[in-house]
Structure 1
Amino acid sequence: MSEFDAASTPASRSVTSSTPQRSVSHFDFGDGEERAQQLPPVDGGKAAWLFTIASTVLECGYSFCYATTLVYLQTHAPWSRYSVSQLSAVGSTQLGLMYICPVFAVSVYRRYPEWVRTILWSCLGISCGSMLLSSWATQLWQLVVLQGVLCGISNTLIYSPVFVYLTDWWIQRRGMALGIVFAGGGIGGFIFPWLINAVLEVKGFPWLCRVWALLTAVVFSTSILFIKPRVQLVKPVGGRGPWFPTGGWSFAWNPLFLLSMLCAAFGGLAYLPVSNYLAVYAHSFSDSTTTVNLVVGLFNLAASIGCFLAGALCDRSYALANALSGALCALVSVTAWGLADTLGKVYLFAVLFGLVGQQSATWGAATRDLAAGNPHLGTLIITLISIMKGVTSLFMPVVSEALYDRSAVNKQPAWGRYGFGNMIIFGELAPSISHAFPSH
């Protein structure tokens, strides 16, 4: 309306009569238009895929392969004096911190964008140094501090820019992209157990820590080179931005957000006992390290496929993706795991649960709906949801200790063998509770 009124004035008519009409694209917007045209495309393109691949590689962390190390530690001094639940605290602590800390790291990176690269390279040094020092550890608390806490926090700071930049690179296909990134844990969990086991058998645990420190330095340093924002971030002029994105906290009372938090918590309670104890369960059937590596590898490979499928499905329907994940997790736990009395059935359960248990891959679609187009707010929401899975990971060793029936380790009933009966029931109830309500 304002353009029509302006064009009806004598002055404007004189201007328009003497000036040829041009489309908006012909006007000179200065450097801003040129910079806008030079920005790489969203939802695809070489730069977006390189960022996604690098993010996926960073997801291939030690915590997703710790089950193989756990089986070794429980049978070798000086670690054999600790229980399985106590030893699992190392991997659970690292994984829990990697889910809890991003909300704080993201806030720092948003406020101090010019420090991101410096922090990434510094944390890479801390992560590799901590893993190297742990090769001389002789007490469990030393492993928890070095591998669990220091590696967990430093790896979180290395990985957190993914949350900051992902919402800029991917919009309509964000769920699929996040599913691919989360699949990195499964891919690494399929490949690295074989390497870990080879080093453990030949050189032992100390040399595993040294080899892993070197591997982390090479792989992560390469990935960091491609973790870049779509729009170059510089030091702000005229004061720093807020610690948390503007736009209000009304999403915190949105039923979708509350149910997403609930799904993350109970989904973690269902998923983590399987990921931590599946190798131990397989070891009850065979002392072969190949058996343990194969079941862990199959589980993680299926998980990587499940992440992609869940991410793609939630782009279509977040409610359907969560409902299917919860129902199938419960069904697979009570049947495939409860009745697993041979190695073949254990392999089958590993594949089935890995495929259907990837509820975290649906978070991207939830943030897209809750953030209403605000990428900063979307990043905050996804890191808040991840806190719930991190908290469950930290408490999981305590829960697992209570559920694991040591008196029934040598018993072989028709359902729930080797003391895992209570854990199987818990694995059936947790996803049922988390997905008992619709997400929309």
Structure 2
Amino acid sequence: MYGVGFTIFYYPIIGMVNEFWIARRGMAYGILCSSSGVSGTVMPVTLEALLHRYGLPTTLRAVAVGLALSTGPLIPFLRGQTREPEQAQVAVSQTDWGFLRVPLFWIYTTSNLMQGLGYFFPSLYLPSYASTMGLGSTRGALLLAVMSVSQVLGQLSFGYLSDRRFSVNVLTLTSTLASATAVLTLWGLAQSFAVLGVFAIVYGFFGAGYTAMWARMGTAVASDSTAAFAAFGLFNFGKGLGNILAGPISAGLLLDHVDTIKYGAFRYEAVVIFTGSCMLASAASATAAYFKPWKAVSARV
């Protein structure tokens, strides 16, 4: 029910943004995607305090009421509008699924799926990793808050750059390679709060920046806004698969023994390596766009 409610609420808003913003669509998506990171700067610490004081049932009810009160009154102000000519509106009333035959779409889809498979592990295990290193749950929540702030900046930056004639392929490689480097070095070798903090900043900025490029990936493979929005939904679906699979995969990667001196505190070694490998696989998939001059609709690729 939570997932269905999220979809019903989220996608009409995305559709409205897609209709109105054209030249600066990447920036618009970056702002929209980063807004969740704004709340993430305070929610981890707030939830930690609520759980300790009131317990799980009361905390969940408080979150539910807070969501209803903070979003419900804004719904009447959400109205779709478009700046496209009337003829173009008629032309795109039916989604053109021709982009499914564009090789570049499948290159992006593969890269996105690989990135999604590993993306969620740091946010899932950073607090427990901090506790394993003897840093306590409060510092673990603080690391998530730091990562959320960095995610906001990353999504704003990558969304803006994707509109400023920066190649989507270059931005994709930058995002995934920087994320892989941060995971395999900073996270895997971290033994202090300072190093974990630097990791949270670097990974949050570059890892989250990938999502902000979905808009321009869509316009690179589709000729109209309706089809580009459909491509955006499929990219979101691909990353959602990674979110679903993260739990079962991690269950088989975590080890029982802990050794804070070893790589990844030993218990998280396989998780760190898997996450970094997914980012490298995502980068490797994206490089396929350079092997052949794939004909794309957008000149921004």
Normalised TM-score (structure 2): 0.87
> How far apart, CA to CA, are the structure 2 residues paired with 1:227 and 1:403?
43
| Greater RCO structure (CA 8 Å; 6+ sep) | 2
Cα–Cα, structure 1 residues 390 and 368, in superposed 2: closer, same or farther, change >3 Å? same
In structure 2, the residue corresponding to 1:172 is in which secondary structure?
coil
CA deviations on 1:350-405 (whole Å, 9 max, x unpaired) are 11100110211110111122222x22112111001111111111111111111111
Question: Which one has the largest radius of gyration?
Answer: 1
Conserved in 2, the CA contact under 8 Å of 1:284 and 1:418?
A: no
**Are the counterparts in 2 of residues 190 and 298 from structure 1 also a CA contact under 8 Å?**
yes
Partner of residue 181, structure 1: 32
Name which of 273, 277, 292 aligns with 2:121. Answer: 273
Aligned to 2:42, which of 179, 191, 195? 191
CA deviation after TM superposition for structure 1 residue 208, in Å: 0.4
Q: Deviations over 1:174-216 (max 9, x none)?
A: 1111111111221111111222122111111111011111101
Q: Quote how far apart the aligned CAs of 1:223 are.
A: 3.0
Return 5+ residue gaps in structure 1 as ranges.
1-149, 233-240
Counterparts in 2 of 1:27-426, with a 5 A limit? 150-231=1-82, 246=94, 248-286=96-134, 288-315=136-163, 316=165, 317-358=167-208, 359-372=210-223, 374-406=224-256, 408=257, 410-426=258-274
Amino acid in the other structure paired with 1:160: Y
1:286–1:413 CA distance, 2 compared to 1 (3 A): closer
Structure 1 residues 245-282: Cα deviation after superposition (integer angstroms, max 9, x where no partner): 63532211212211121122111112111121111111
Cα separation, 1, equivalents of 2:38 and 2:172: 22
Structure 1 stretches of 4+ moved >6 Å: none
Instruction: Indicate conservation of the 8 Å contact 1:193/1:293, yes or no.
Output: yes
Distance 2:260 2:16 in 1: 50
Return the alpha-carbon distance in structure 2 between the equivalents of residues 279 and 268 of structure 1.
20
* Counterpart secondary structure, 2:120: helix
Instruction: Report if the CA contact (8 A) 2:26-2:159 is conserved.
Output: yes
Contact 2:128 2:137 (C-alpha < 8 Å) held by counterparts: no
The equivalent residue for 1:74 is: none
* Structure 1 letter corresponding to 2:54: K
Q: Matches of 2:96 and 2:159 in 1, distance apart?
A: 27
Compute the TM-score of the two structures, normalised by the length of structure 1.
Answer: 0.60
Instruction: Look up the SS of the partner of 1:282 in the other structure.
Output: helix
1: CA distance between counterparts of 2:95 and 2:265? 52
* Cα pair 1:323 1:438 within 8 Å, conserved: no
Question: What's 1:86 paired with?
Answer: none
Q: Distance in 2 between matches of 1:438 and 1:176?
A: 26
Q: Report the Cα offset of residue 226 of structure 1.
A: 2.8
Partner amino acid, structure 2, of 1:329: S
Measure the CA separation in 1 of the matches of 2:93 and 2:240. Answer: 22
Measured in 2, the distance between the counterparts of 1:225 and 1:187 equals: 23
- Do the aligned residues in 1 keep the contact of 2:143 with 2:196 (CA within 8 Å)? yes
**Alignment partners' CA distance in 1, 2:95 and 2:37:** 35
Amino acid at match of 1:333: V
How far 1:332 moved relative to its partner? 0.7
Distance apart, 1:339 and its partner CA: 0.8
Distance 1:346 1:396 in 2: 21
Residue type at the aligned position of 1:383 = G
- Percent sequence identity is 25
Secondary structure of 1:246's aligned partner:
coil
The amino acid that maps onto 1:384 is L
For the residue of structure 2 that corresponds to 1:229, the secondary structure is coil
Letter in 2 for 1:342: S
- Aligned-partner residue type, residue 239 of structure 2: K
CA–CA separation in structure 2 for the residues paired with 1:338 and 1:223: 43
SS of the residue corresponding to residue 77 of structure 2 reads coil
Tell me, which stretches of 5 or more residues in structure 2 are unaligned?
84-89, 290-300
